[in-house]
Amino acid sequence: MPFVYKDVDKLINQPLAGSGTCVDIIKTYVPGLQGKPTTVWRAGENVMEAGSRIRKGTAIATFEHGRYPRRDHDNHAAIVVRVMGSGIWVADQWAGDAKRQYIGLRLIRVPAPHNQRNADGSFKRPSDNALAFYVIEK
Protein backbone atom coordinates (compact mmCIF):
# COMPACT_ATOMS: atom_id res chain seq x y z
CA MET A 1 0.00 0.00 0.00
CA PRO A 2 1.51 3.36 -0.98
CA PHE A 3 1.59 6.26 1.46
CA VAL A 4 0.29 9.52 -0.01
CA TYR A 5 0.45 13.15 1.09
CA LYS A 6 -2.41 14.83 -0.78
CA ASP A 7 -1.25 18.44 -0.37
CA VAL A 8 2.19 18.01 -1.95
CA ASP A 9 1.83 21.19 -4.04
CA LYS A 10 1.55 23.24 -0.83
CA LEU A 11 4.98 22.02 0.32
CA ILE A 12 6.93 23.78 -2.43
CA ASN A 13 8.93 26.73 -1.01
CA GLN A 14 8.01 25.86 2.59
CA PRO A 15 10.80 25.76 5.22
CA LEU A 16 12.78 22.53 5.48
CA ALA A 17 11.06 19.81 7.50
CA GLY A 18 12.80 18.56 10.64
CA SER A 19 16.59 18.64 10.39
CA GLY A 20 16.38 19.14 6.62
CA THR A 21 17.38 15.63 5.60
CA CYS A 22 15.47 14.08 2.73
CA VAL A 23 13.76 11.52 4.97
CA ASP A 24 12.41 14.25 7.26
CA ILE A 25 9.99 15.46 4.58
CA ILE A 26 8.46 11.95 4.60
CA LYS A 27 8.53 11.55 8.39
CA THR A 28 6.95 14.99 8.88
CA TYR A 29 4.19 15.06 6.28
CA VAL A 30 3.22 11.63 4.93
CA PRO A 31 0.36 9.97 6.87
CA GLY A 32 1.27 6.48 8.03
CA LEU A 33 4.99 7.27 7.89
CA GLN A 34 5.02 10.27 10.25
CA GLY A 35 7.66 9.71 12.89
CA LYS A 36 8.41 6.17 11.69
CA PRO A 37 12.07 5.12 11.32
CA THR A 38 13.37 4.27 7.86
CA THR A 39 14.08 0.74 9.14
CA VAL A 40 10.36 -0.04 8.66
CA TRP A 41 10.35 1.18 5.04
CA ARG A 42 10.22 -1.48 2.32
CA ALA A 43 10.51 -1.14 -1.44
CA GLY A 44 7.23 -1.36 -3.28
CA GLU A 45 6.70 -0.88 -7.00
CA ASN A 46 9.41 0.74 -9.13
CA VAL A 47 8.23 4.27 -9.91
CA MET A 48 9.31 4.39 -13.55
CA GLU A 49 7.88 0.95 -14.30
CA ALA A 50 4.56 1.91 -12.72
CA GLY A 51 4.49 5.26 -14.53
CA SER A 52 1.12 6.99 -14.46
CA ARG A 53 -0.25 4.50 -11.91
CA ILE A 54 1.78 6.33 -9.25
CA ARG A 55 -0.48 8.87 -7.55
CA LYS A 56 0.57 12.45 -6.97
CA GLY A 57 1.80 12.74 -3.38
CA THR A 58 3.19 9.19 -3.16
CA ALA A 59 6.23 8.78 -0.90
CA ILE A 60 9.22 7.29 -2.76
CA ALA A 61 12.83 6.45 -2.00
CA THR A 62 15.89 4.63 -3.28
CA PHE A 63 16.32 1.11 -1.93
CA GLU A 64 18.95 -1.64 -1.94
CA HIS A 65 17.77 -5.23 -1.59
CA GLY A 66 14.32 -3.93 -0.57
CA ARG A 67 15.59 -1.75 2.29
CA TYR A 68 16.36 1.95 2.58
CA PRO A 69 20.16 2.37 2.79
CA ARG A 70 21.01 4.58 5.74
CA ARG A 71 24.06 6.43 4.42
CA ASP A 72 25.18 10.04 4.16
CA HIS A 73 25.01 9.98 0.34
CA ASP A 74 23.72 7.99 -2.66
CA ASN A 75 20.25 7.48 -1.20
CA HIS A 76 17.21 9.74 -1.28
CA ALA A 77 13.54 10.08 -0.36
CA ALA A 78 10.95 12.43 -1.87
CA ILE A 79 7.25 12.93 -2.62
CA VAL A 80 5.97 12.48 -6.20
CA VAL A 81 4.48 15.45 -7.99
CA ARG A 82 4.37 13.84 -11.45
CA VAL A 83 5.80 10.80 -13.22
CA MET A 84 6.58 11.01 -16.93
CA GLY A 85 8.65 8.97 -19.36
CA SER A 86 11.80 11.05 -18.92
CA GLY A 87 11.75 11.21 -15.12
CA ILE A 88 9.97 12.11 -11.90
CA TRP A 89 9.04 15.58 -10.65
CA VAL A 90 9.34 15.50 -6.86
CA ALA A 91 9.03 17.69 -3.79
CA ASP A 92 12.24 17.16 -1.86
CA GLN A 93 14.85 18.68 0.41
CA TRP A 94 18.59 18.32 1.01
CA ALA A 95 20.18 19.20 4.36
CA GLY A 96 23.54 19.79 2.68
CA ASP A 97 22.34 22.33 0.10
CA ALA A 98 23.15 25.71 1.67
CA LYS A 99 21.60 27.54 -1.32
CA ARG A 100 18.21 25.87 -0.90
CA GLN A 101 16.82 26.22 2.61
CA TYR A 102 13.29 25.25 1.61
CA ILE A 103 11.36 22.31 0.19
CA GLY A 104 11.78 22.46 -3.56
CA LEU A 105 10.46 21.06 -6.81
CA ARG A 106 13.02 18.98 -8.72
CA LEU A 107 13.10 16.79 -11.81
CA ILE A 108 14.94 13.51 -11.29
CA ARG A 109 15.73 12.31 -14.80
CA VAL A 110 16.18 8.90 -16.37
CA PRO A 111 19.89 8.96 -17.29
CA ALA A 112 21.33 7.95 -20.64
CA PRO A 113 21.74 4.14 -20.87
CA HIS A 114 25.49 4.18 -20.18
CA ASN A 115 24.86 6.16 -16.95
CA GLN A 116 22.04 4.02 -15.54
CA ARG A 117 23.81 1.12 -13.80
CA ASN A 118 27.22 0.08 -12.51
CA ALA A 119 28.89 -3.15 -13.65
CA ASP A 120 27.53 -4.94 -10.56
CA GLY A 121 23.95 -3.99 -11.49
CA SER A 122 23.54 -1.31 -8.82
CA PHE A 123 22.27 2.11 -9.86
CA LYS A 124 24.74 4.86 -10.71
CA ARG A 125 24.11 8.02 -8.68
CA PRO A 126 20.80 6.69 -7.30
CA SER A 127 19.75 10.03 -5.78
CA ASP A 128 19.73 11.53 -9.28
CA ASN A 129 18.55 8.46 -11.21
CA ALA A 130 14.78 8.12 -11.68
CA LEU A 131 15.16 4.38 -12.32
CA ALA A 132 16.39 3.88 -8.73
CA PHE A 133 13.18 5.05 -7.01
CA TYR A 134 10.52 2.80 -5.51
CA VAL A 135 7.25 3.42 -3.70
CA ILE A 136 7.73 3.33 0.08
CA GLU A 137 5.74 0.56 1.75
CA LYS A 138 5.99 -1.06 5.16
pLDDT tens digits, one per residue of 26-55: 999 999 999 999 999 999 999 999 999 999
| SS3 of residue 126 by DSSP | helix
**Does 91 reside within a domain?**
yes
**Under DSSP, is residue 74 helix (H, G, I), strand (E, B) or coil?**
coil
Q: What is the pLDDT of residues 103-134, one digit of tens each?
A: 999 999 998 888 888 888 788 888 899 999 99
Is residue 18 assigned to a domain?
yes
| Residue 2 falls inside a structural domain | no
What is the pLDDT confidence band of residue 95, given thresholds at 50, 70 and 90?
Answer: confident
Beta-carbon contacts of residue 106 (< 8 Å; ≥ 6 apart): 78, 89, 90, 92
Q: Is there a domain that residue 120 lies in?
A: yes
- Residue 83 in any domain: the answer is yes
Q: CA–CA separation, 23 vs 38, rounded Å?
A: 8
Examine residue 78 and state whether it is found in any structural domain, yes or no: yes
Residue 47 in any domain: the answer is yes
Number of structural domains the chain divides into: 1
In a domain, 1, yes or no: no
* Full residue range of the structural domain in which residue 67 is found: 8-137
13-47: string of b/e by CB count within 10 Å (b at 16+)? eeebbeebbbbbbbbbbbeebeebebeebebbbbb
pLDDT-above-90 percentage for the chain: 77
